[in-house]
Amino acid sequence: MQKLRYLYLILFILIFKIGFSQTKTIDSLKNLLSTSLHDCKRAGILYQIGRAFQDESKNDLAIRFGKQSLDLSGKLSCDSITIRCYNLLGIAFDDNGDYPNAKKFFQAGLELALKKNDEDNISIFYTNLGETCRSQANYTQALDYFLKALKIDEDKHDEKRLVSDYFTLALLFGNLDETSQEKKYLFKALNLSKKINNKRVEAKCYNIYAILIGEEGKTDSALYYYNKSLVIAREIELKHLEAKVLSNIGGIYREKEDFKNAIAYAGYSVKLNTEIGDYKFLAADYIMMGWLYSDMGDLRQSETYFTKALKLSRGKFMDSEIHSYKGLAFLKAKSGNYKDAYDYHIKYKALEDSIYNSEKSKQLGDIKTNFEVEKKEAELKAEQEILKAVANEEKKQQRIIIFSVIGFLLIVLMFSFFLFKRYQLTNQQKKIIEIKSKETEDQKILIEEKQKEIIDSIKYAKRIQNAILPQEKELNDRLPQHFVLYQPKDIIAGDFYWMHAFDNKVFIAAADSTGHGVPGAIVSIVCSNALDKAVKEFGLTDTGKILDKTTELVLETFAKSGEEINDGMDISLLCIDKTNQKINWSGANNQLLYTFNNELISIRPNKQPIGRSESHVPFTSHKIEYREGCVFYLMTDGYQDQFGGPNGKKFKFKQLESLITQISHMSLQEQSKELHDAFFSWKGHLEQVDDVTIIGIKI
C-alpha cells in the first residue's frame, strides 16, 4: 500500500554542478552516483535512487539504497536527507508488512524532526506512525498519532496536509465501526481535496464512500462512485488505487450474484497488482477469488486461490494471512475434511487473537514479573524477621504470655463490640432496604406511567400521520382497481403514500423518508406537505417538475433550522391522465415496475434523493403508453432489503421482480395477499429492518 505520506518531494541536489530533475531514470542516477564523492550530494543521489525504486514498488531495492543513504547522511550530519531516509525506509518496511522495522524508522525520524523543530516532517511522521499502528489494529495509539498530526496542520492552516489527516481519520473510524465519524471526516477530506485539486485523495474518498453505501445495500449507487474513483485513478495513473477499485467492483457483482463480472473484475485487479508488484493487495485479490469460486461451487479453484494468498501473506501481511486460514477452514469443512478444517480454524483464531491480545499479554507479563520480584523480597524479609524472633524468643517468652492474655481479653471486648455494632447495622440496613424497596416500587409505577404516556403519544402521532395518507374511499373512487401493501416497521413510519386528483388526473406516489419511527414520520410530514404545495399551490402537473419543486421546498424547510440537515426522501411518482389517456412517471432512487400481457417492464429512477445531494440534476419525466390492463407497481426499498430466508440474506430486487412476474395474472387483491405472505414467510423470526410500501394500480 502506497500511503499519503510525503508533504513534498522537492529534489534538493540543486547545488550539484550538473543539474537534473525527477524525470531522470534510475540508470542515469546510478551513472551520476559513480562521479560523486562521499558527501551530502552522494547521500542525496542514493536517496533518490531508493525513491525511484519505491515508486516502482521494488521495496527491497528501495531499502538497500535507503540504508546506504542513511548511513552516509548520518555520518556527515546531513539532517534533511537523514529525515527523508527514515521516512523512505519506514514506508518500504510498512509496505512489506514488517511493522516493527517500519515503526523503528518512523520513530527515529520523528525524534530527529522534533530535535530540528521541523513541523512539516513531525506531522508526516505522526501520520505514518498512526498508519502503522492502524495496520496492526492498535487503534488507540493510531488515533493518538493522527490527532497530533491534525493539531499541527490545523494550527498551520496547511490544507495540503489536512486533506491527508481527514482521510486517515476516516479510515481509522471505519476500522472502529464509528460510521458517523467516518463519514464526517470522509466528507471533510472529499470537499477539501476538490478545493485544492488533490485528485489522489478525491479518488480514494469516492472509493471509501462507495464501500459505505454498498454496505447499506445501495449497490447501484456504489457502482456509480466506484466508477468515479476509477476514472480519476486512471487519469492520474494511480495504479494501486485502480486495482483496489476493480477488486471492490468485483465485490459488488458478487453481492449481485453476477459471478461472471465478479471474476472478471477481480481478475483485472490480480493482473494489475502482479504488474506493479503490490503483493499485499495481490494476496487480498487471491482471497476474493477464493470466495468467488467457493460461491460458484468450484472448491478446487477456491482452494488454489486461498493457498496462493496464504503463501504470499504468511509472516508478512497478517490480515490476509488470517483471511486465508479462515477461507481454507471453511472449504475443508464444506468438503467434509473436518480434521484439516479444525487445524486451519485453530491457526486462524490464534493469529486473530494475537492481533488484539499481544499488548494485553505483554502487560500481564510485566505485572506478573513485578509480582514475582515483590514476592521474593517479601519472603526474604520474612525469613530475616523469623531469625530475629528466634534469637530473642527465650528473652521475651514471659512478655509474650502476658501480652497474649491481654490481647485475648482485648479481642473478646472488641468482638463483643463488633457484635453489638453489627446488630445495630443490621437493623439499620433492614430499614434502608424497606425504604429502597418502596422507592423502587414507586419508580416502577412512575416508569410504567411514563411509558404509557410515550406510547399514547406515539399512537396519537400515528393518527396524525394517518391523516396525511389518502383514505380508502378516496382511493376506491379515483382508482377502482388497486391495492396498498403498507407495513411500517414501528408504530409510525418514514414510509408514506400520497395521492392528489383534479381534472380527471390522478397523482399517486410511494415515498420513503429518511429514517423510520418518530424521526421518519416527522420527515414524512414535511415531504408530504411539499408535494401538496408543488401540485396545489404551484399548479405543476409534470412529474419531473413536481419532484424538482418538492426538492426545493424540502430544502427551504430544513434551511430554517440554521443547521445542515441531510434528510429527505426517495419516491416513485405516477400521473394518470384519464381524459387524455396519458401516463408519466418520475422517480428519486425508487424504480417503477409495470406489467402488460404478463411481460414485466422496469424504469430506472434518477439516482438522487428529494433533499440535499452532491450534484442535483432535473428529474426525468418518463412517458408511458396508456394501455388498459396495464398494472403499475410503486414501491419503496423496504421489501427487497428485508433479511430472511434459509440463510438470513436480503430478499433483493431481482427476487421481487420474479415474484411480481409470477403473480401478475392474478387479481390485485390476490397479488396483495401473495406479496404480504411472501414477505412474512421470508422474514420469519427475524426483525423487520425497514418500512415496507408497495402500491398496485390497474388501468
Determine the pLDDT at residue 409: 72
Q: What is the DSSP letter of 237?
A: T
Query: In terms of pLDDT, which residue wins out, 336 or 664?
Result: 664
How sure is the predictor about 387, in pLDDT bands with cuts at 50, 70 and 90? Answer: very low
- Under CATH, what is the fold of the domain 470-698? Phosphatase 2c; domain 1 (3.60.40)
CATH fourth-level superfamily of 198-277: Tetratricopeptide repeat domain (1.25.40.10)
Q: Region 412-420: what's the mean pLDDT?
A: 72
Residue 282 and residue 285: Cα distance in Å, rounded?
5
Residue 692 and residue 510: Cα distance in Å, rounded?
10
Q: Does 367 have pLDDT greater than 60?
A: no
Q: Which of 199, 202, 204, 165 is nearest to 185 (CA)?
A: 165
Determine the pLDDT at residue 561: 66
Q: Which of 157, 149, 152, 231 is nearest to 167 (CA)?
A: 149
Q: Does 518 have pLDDT greater than 80?
A: no
Distances (CA, A) of 622 to 540, 584, 585, 590, 603: 16, 5, 5, 14, 8
How sure is the predictor about 32, in pLDDT bands with cuts at 50, 70 and 90? Answer: low
Determine the pLDDT at residue 415: 67
Distances (CA, A) of 449 to 223, 334, 453, 529: 50, 54, 6, 34
DSSP, residue by residue, 253-278: HHHTT-HHHHHHHHHHHHHHHHHHT-
Determine the pLDDT at residue 41: 85
How sure is the predictor about 435, in pLDDT bands with cuts at 50, 70 and 90? Answer: confident
pLDDT digits (tens, 9 = 90+) for 68-80: 888 888 888 889 9
27-36, 414-423, 618-627, 678-687: which range is least confident on average?
27-36
pLDDT digits (tens, 9 = 90+) for 295-312: 888 889 988 998 998 888
Q: Where are the domains of the chain?
A: 198-277, 295-388, 438-468, 470-698
Q: Region 461-486: what's the mean pLDDT?
A: 87
pLDDT digits (tens, 9 = 90+) for 368-382: 344 334 434 544 554
Decide if 594 contacts 634 (C-beta within 8 A).
no
